[in-house]
Amino acid sequence: MKIAVIGTGYVGLVTGVALSEIGHQVTCIDIDPNKVAELNQGIPTIYEPGLGEMMLRNQSAHRLFFTDQHEKGLDGAEVIYIAVGTPQRADGSANLQYVEQAARDIANNIRKSVIVVIKSTVPVGTNLHIKKIMNANTRPGIQVRIASNPEFLREGSAIHDTFRGDRIIIGAEDRETADVLEEINAPFGIPVLKTDLSSSEMIKYASNAFLATKISFINEIANLCEKLGADVEEVSRGMGLDHRIGMSFLRAGIGYGGSCFPKDTNALVQLAGNHHHEFNLLKSVIEVNNHQQRVLVEKMVARFGSLKGKRVAVLGLAFKPNTDDLRESPALVIIPKLVELGAEVITYDPIAANQGPRWINAPAAYTKNIAKALKDADCAVIVTDWPDIKRMEPETFAYFMKTPIVFDGRNCYSIAAVRKARIEYYSVGRPDVVPEVIR
């Protein structure tokens, strides 16, 4: 099938490449000519393991194309996906201006009836709103059918999630439209749930809100475990063995970040408020997460008293491993606070180090060399559980650092391994490790 995808951000690029991989002819459209030029050279504009190889394979097979011209990209398309950003407004609501502009661009350039699929995360009611915009701008005789097909991709695991996901949600006004989308997605071999537009839109928000709730819940349990002498990892394991609860998203740490959970939880609270419903549970989830991002700094102040003049190695900038995305990363909270408290900060990230100066509004040094970050540091703070950090022997801290004092926001190491390494170690929801010689 001939498909167009508007937007080559995270969702749009992964969607376009994946659809070409299963045999469709896909043209991805973006208004940024520089980005399109890179993509046409086979250079992915986001970091996602496996994406570059898949992109090149389908470009070589003449199934995947990129353009900054809507007329060219939409020519002959039978199905058009909207996958542009819906950034958060100051009040927490979703900004739909890019989705609305995409709708107008489609309406002004199509020459035949099409199905328009909204892949972007949008509030309930948006699909019908977008359909009205397109109907008001299309040529006479052209019919636009609208559908909702939310994405459930984890950054860093998007290729896996696309081809081995749990479900595909299709929301439509009529069975024929839903059947066409089911046929498009059939090669993925993933179970399909067909529903109405509003339910499809809500499924996306409800899913992310529930996962965020699990994260904030286990972090509150972790903070209580520290006061009571329990180990949150043992607690999580015991909880997760109950199949009604499950192990996923029960890892204590310094909170969630990224482009989805913070934005979607805030948007759902705002959406509820617009309909006179106080979503108190979700408000608490957000409040807990905001505090959790400051937990390590509080532990550092409690340990040192003053951070003035301390050389602090911050390990990890991205909000999670296998991505260069810093959106809502705890690093954006932690680093400026450390600088405010007088610390000298040097950061390490194997992928996102180059993104740091653009995102972090505080003086800090950036490196992709972990040894350079740790050398002569007074303490280290683990923000992102990159595989190379988790694989590193705890003794490495003692080898490079001035004083091997580690604040681990991702619980990367076992307590037993840390005790053996004889470093001073503070994690989340577990006992502190302070060698006898220090005491």
Which residue numbers are catalytic?
260
Distance (Å, whole) CA 30 – CA 12: 10
Q: Is 214 annotated as ligand-binding?
A: no
Q: Is 197 annotated as ligand-binding?
A: no
Other C-beta atoms lying within 10 Å of the C-beta of residue 231: 17
Q: Is 402 annotated as ligand-binding?
A: no
Distance (Å, whole) CA 434 – CA 439: 7
Other C-beta atoms lying within 10 Å of the C-beta of residue 398: 16
Q: Is 152 annotated as ligand-binding?
A: yes
Amino acid at 328: E
Distance (Å, whole) CA 17 – CA 269: 33
Q: Is 378 annotated as ligand-binding?
A: no
Q: Is 153 annotated as ligand-binding?
A: yes
Q: Is 249 annotated as ligand-binding?
A: yes
Asked whether the CA dihedral 188, 194, 198, 199 is positive or negative, the reply is negative
Half-sphere exposure of 258 (CA within 13 A, CB side): 20
Distance (Å, whole) CA 195 – CA 168: 11
Cβ partners under 8 Å of residue 141, min gap 6: none
Q: Is 419 annotated as ligand-binding?
A: no
Q: Is 308 annotated as ligand-binding?
A: no
Q: Which of 263, 307, 245, 288 shows the shortest CA–CA distance to 428?
A: 288
Q: Is 253 annotated as ligand-binding?
A: yes
Q: Is 250 annotated as ligand-binding?
A: yes
Distance (Å, whole) CA 321 – CA 314: 15
Q: Is 309 annotated as ligand-binding?
A: no
Q: Is 264 annotated as ligand-binding?
A: no
Q: Is 251 annotated as ligand-binding?
A: yes
Cβ partners under 8 Å of residue 3, min gap 6: 16, 19, 24, 25, 26, 27, 77, 78, 79, 80, 81, 184
Q: Which residues are annotated as a binding site for NAD(+)?
A: 30, 35, 86, 121, 155, 263, 327
Q: Which residues are annotated as a binding site?
A: 30, 35, 86, 121, 152-155, 204, 249-253, 257, 263, 320, 327
Q: Which residues are annotated as a binding site for substrate?
A: 152-155, 204, 249-253, 257, 320
